[in-house]
Amino acid sequence: MNFDNRFHQVKRSSLLPAAIAGALVVSVVFTAGAAAQPAGSHEKPDRPKPTVVFVHGAFADASGWSAEVEQLQREGYPVIAPANPLRGVSSDAGYIASVLDTVTGPIVLVGHSYGGVVITNAAAMTQNTNNIKALVYIAAYIPDVGQAAQVLTPLPGSQIVLPGTPGVPPTVILRPCPPANCGAGFDAYIDPVNFRQVFAADLPATQTAVMAATQRPASLVAFGEPSAFAAWRTIPSFALVATADNAIGTANVRAMAQHAGARIVEVNASHAVLVSQPNAVVRLIHTAAGTDD
């Protein structure tokens, strides 16, 4: 944001004692400086804005952050939203860590869904670990060391069902892919028939049909590979819990956020809260960046 700091000269009155005139000068200059910051500003004087790095999850891509990117760029934040490869925890986190290595200055690292697993590891793998100001989890997995995404949904609420689950119709379809590109030999997609209900029930059907058709699949390795790090143990963490999350499940997201000691905000939204409630996401980023007061 641009701030127009105007400093007014105060002429000393020859009728006033020098001490009183000096006090008036200090008072007027202080008032002018205080007034220079507009109401509702998310800027603190002389504090550089952190770079916000967005990491999307499975069944999505970086365009899901478009509204957040646009708003933060208007506010003067540097923003990067790289493509998450969705091939496996160690390789995905290694790639995102390489992006973080190129960033100078403080960083707020934001992950959605499986992207939460990735940022939990990438924050510990980057050469710039000391620059990570905050981890922000948006309807996201928050694993501890040794935990994989597929074992972090023990409570009711998740409607992501793989083929072969006894007695439950699958909501995920598998497509074969070259093992060199996806270690388990299969990519997972949410079945377009189930996409809106599972992923984005609070968005229009026409929009979710496009999202289903353009979703990026995840290798089965991504869900089964355990986390090697738990960066939230040393980095301040913030979590947005979507109260109508049918993908990971609201209770599961809340339990992980509580386990991590994250500062929690709850929003009435689907798992695709980054698309349906971008303002809520940006507000939490402001809080994590220390620019919400």
Per-residue pLDDT at 46: 56
Say how far residue 128 (Cα) sits from the centre of its chain: 18
Per-residue pLDDT at 292: 66
Cβ 136 vs Cβ 262: under 8 Å: no
Q: Which positions ≥6 away from 188 have C-beta within 8 Å?
A: 58, 162, 172, 173, 174, 217, 218, 219, 220, 223
Q: Which positions ≥6 away from 30 have C-beta within 8 Å?
A: none
Q: CA–CA separation, 49 vs 282, rounded Å?
A: 14
Burial annotation 231-255 (CB, 10 A radius, 16+ → b, else e): bbeebbbbbbbbeebbbbbbbbbbb
Low-confidence ranges of the chain (pLDDT < 50): 1-44
* CATH number corresponding to 51-289: 3.40.50.1820
**Residue 198 is inside which H or E element, if any?**
helix 192-199
Per-residue pLDDT at 288: 98
pTM of the model: 0.84
Within the chain, strands assigned E span: 51-55, 79-80, 107-112, 132-138, 172-176, 186-190, 218-219, 237-242, 263-267
Tens of pLDDT, residues 201-251 = 999 999 999 999 999 999 999 999 999 999 999 999 999 999 999 999 999
Q: CA–CA separation, 291 vs 43, rounded Å?
A: 6
Per-residue pLDDT at 263: 98
Cβ 264 vs Cβ 254: under 8 Å: yes
Per-residue pLDDT at 116: 98
* Domain residue ranges in the chain: 51-289
Per-residue pLDDT at 183: 79
